[in-house]
Amino acid sequence: AFHHARGLRPRLRSLPLDPPGLAEAAAAAGWRAYDESLVLCGELAPMAVADAAVEVLAAPDARWMAVASSADYQTEARRREKAEGAALLTVPAAWLLLEDAACIFVAADGPLCGMFDLAVRPGARRRGLARRIMGAAAAWGLAQGATWKFSQVSATNEASLA
C-alpha cells in the first residue's frame, strides 16, 4: 500500500544470504529479476579520507537529487522514493555531495556502513570524484562507529567494480 499510494513499484533485493526458497517464492508471486547485483564489502579505515570539499547533508536536497538523477537508472519514481525515504530511516544516515558533481548516500548501523546511490555527473567523470566522495563516506562511517562498508552494485556496472 505504501508504494502503491506513491506510484512506486515495490522492489525486492535478493542476496546470496536470503533464506532458502525466497527466490522461488518471489518468482511464484510474480516478482521478476531485473539484473544481477553484487554485494561488495571491505574495511572502512583503509579507504577513509576526510575531504573538506564534501558537504554532509541531513537529507537529499535539490542539488543532491540533481546529481543522483544523472545516473541512468534513476527514474522519477525512484527520485520520489529517495526524497520520501529519508524520514523513514531509524539509523544514522547522510547524503554527501561533492562539487555538485558527485553524490553518495550512506547509512550506519553498528559495525556496518552501507554506501548507496553513488553517482558522478557524466561531464565530471574520470577526475577522481567517486574515489574522493567514497573516502569521505568511509570517514563519515568511521565517525559513526562503523568498521566495515558494503554496497550493492549491478554486475554490469564496470566503473563500480573497478
Binned at pLDDT 50, 70 and 90, residue 64 comes out as: very high
Q: What does the pLDDT read at residue 17?
A: 63
Burial zone of 68 (CB within 10 Å; 0-12 exposed, 13-18 middle, 19+ buried): buried
Q: Which of 50-54, 101-105, 111-115, 154-158 bottoms out in mean pLDDT, i.e. has the lowest?
A: 154-158
Q: What does the pLDDT read at residue 159?
A: 67
All three cell numbers of 1, joined, read 500500500
Residue 67: strand pairing partners? none
Residue 42: strand pairing partners? 149
pLDDT tens readout for residues 94-132: 999 999 999 999 999 999 999 998 999 999 999 999 999
Q: What does the pLDDT read at residue 2?
A: 66
Average pLDDT, the chain: 87
Asked if pLDDT for residue 35 goes beyond 90, the answer is no
The reported pTM is 0.78
